[in-house]
Chains A and B, each alone.
Chain A
Amino acid sequence: MALLELENICKSFKTGDTTTIVHNNLSFTVDKGELVAIMGKSGSGKTTLLNILAGIDYPDSGKYVFDGSEVVIKKTNDGIKFRRNQIGVILQHFALINDYTVYENIELGLWEADLSKHERRKKVDEVLERLGISDLRNQYPDKLSGGEKQRVAIGRAIVCEPKLVLADEPTGSLDNETEKEVIEIIKELNKSLEMTFIIVTHDEEVASCCNRTITLQKL
């Protein structure tokens, strides 16, 4: 069953008199529970596609259907509402708040969920346990290794149990060993929680761990 469908998506950027076409009639479908890699050279529109999928940006034309409903983004807040509890985002540079503990960083993903403090605590504890970082709950991110930071970032992305997790180069800042660990975590989450993952990557090894790879060409 399809979680998202992109149909004839066109996207271009105008810089002065020059128009750069990034996507031209891009179409693909991602099913629920899939683990998909998106690859492509620099400038092929990977991040733009990620932005469209996350509701940060909107296509010039074409149709984006998520979980059966068409996604229409007109304002920043529309994107935030669309993402809330539906999409988790993992970034290459972890995007953790250094003033917040590991626990608080993960809890951030639940602030907008209608949950009591007790329920939030329970969910965060579950995620900490699942990712094997319970002992780091009171640590601050600047004291963590790259792999630990990415686990925290994954924790924040999945704590609200989103339907889709978008990961932008999740292993880009990690060494080989840690990269494998993170990929294993993603695979495990994909399998056990049946969570859909779309990973933007340059790394063939990461792509090979996914069910499917979509390769974008530079236009």
Chain B
Amino acid sequence: MRFVINNAFKSLFQNPKVNILILLNMVLCNATVFIFLQNYEYLKTCFNSLYYDKSDVAKCYVLEFAGEDAADSNENYIDFSTDVINRTPMYEIGKKVYKELESNPHLFFYENCQSGIHLEIIENGEKLLPFIDEEQPQPEIHIEFVNENNFKAWNLKVVEGRDFNADDFTNLDKNVPVSVILGNDFKAVYKVGDIINIHDEYFGDDSAVVIGFLNKGAYEEAFNQVYSMDNYMFCPIIFPRDEGAITEYKECDELFIDKHRRVYVDDPSIDLQAIVNEVTVKNGFYTLVCSALDGTEKRETEELARRNVLLIGTLAVIGGVICTLALAAVLYNRACKNRTKYCIFMCAGIPIWKINLSITVEMLVLLVVSVFPTIGLSIYEYGRLYIPVWQLFAFTLPIIIVSLIPTLIVNRRCNLDILIRHKII
């Protein structure tokens, strides 16, 4: 192996022009593959966010209350909350209607994992000064209220302190501060164990204890956007710490009030409005209106997404083929020029497989180096690597292997006889 490593690294620095050409080829190849994979991932994410990973969706509806989407209407939300709190007949009817609709095996209620998240701006005292926008008189902080599942689902990692535990989600004692995890930017201001006084118009005053910090660059994808979590505070979904409020929240949730009111059906012939009417008539509740979204927005989006992926995929394949041919040509020419050298190696007793292995090692080193510009660009543009590095390698490695074939064929023809008969000197 000494020869393999030694020759591979020696060869890397010989013929710099050719090696730079090979490296550029690989960089282009990686960039092409990256653009394809990144777009594919992005389109897949967009598509999944529409269909919530349901492959058997035939039609999609939006349920509206009294002609307005209750989830988007604060007024209706408050009305519903009042209904819940007061246990009005509307609440009881609504609950029945929802339960009956939910039991229909052909209907799928979209359950967004971000359900129950509110982004609020609150005042938080002088300690948040680094986050003050000069144009804004008040310091600001984003708060996300999470349940145990959300936090895990978003794959957020605590790098300092500890993660939430079950007790954090049941701590309703106002004398014990609420556990909070902070985004990495806050490390400049707080440390684990610090107490933060919280004041909010809606939730009132409370206190929180810092239990941990997220990694730098933590993010969350929602509504086709990537949100940096570096300046977020994560609180267990127990605010305001009032059992009644929590029950209300849960009940609103049950009523499908605070969820994204989207319903999928698995059979396009199903008329959701008819089903809803049947249920509501039975209960004396007529205010749910179903608007079909199928065939237009969603199907077009799906079609567009697929076409885009197909187009980018085709371009990636063409780009990959061009890269392969270009790389193979450069490597082939290099091998032809180096035939004498390889014959001399063989003259010195070095078998051809070791020579080929050293060329392969050299190409692998160049491959690893060639990935860095793509990684750098991705981090510069998106703040993170959009796709895992192994996926880049999985696409580029076969290109390198195929490109090496002509070289290996040339090298197979190397032997001492050629050298002795001066055919290539």
Contact = CB atoms under 8 A, between A and B. Distances in A.
Given A54-B416, A56-B417, A93 B422 contact: yes
B349 A160 contact: yes
Contacts of B349: 80, 83-85, 109, 111-112, 160
Interface stretch (B42-50, B238-246, B340-348): B340-348
A131 B56 CA distance: 82
A168 B340 CA distance: 17
Contacts of B348: 108-109, 111-112, 156
Instruction: Give the interface residue-count category, chain B.
Output: 20 to 34
A99 interface: yes
A16 B349 CA distance: 33
A95 B419 contact: yes
A146 to B, nearest CB: 14
A197 B341 CA distance: 24
Interface residues of A, number: 29
Interface in B136-170: none
Contacts, number: 67
A80 B351 contact: yes
B351 to A, nearest CB: 5
A168 B347 CA distance: 13
A95 B3 contact: no
Interface in B1-42: 2-3, 6, 10, 14
Interface in A60-90: 76-77, 79-81, 83-85, 89
B10 A99 contact: yes
Contacts of A57: 417
4 nearest CB pairs, A to B: A84-B349, A108-B348, A111-B3, A112-B349
19 contacts: A50-B420, A51-B416, A51-B417, A51-B420, A54-B416, A76-B415, A80-B350, A80-B352, A83-B349, A91-B347, A91-B419, A92-B422, A95-B419, A108-B344, A108-B345, A108-B350, A111-B3, A112-B3, A160-B349
Interface of A: 47, 50-51, 54, 56-57, 76-77, 79-81, 83-85, 89, 91-93, 95-97, 99, 108-109, 111-112, 156, 160, 168
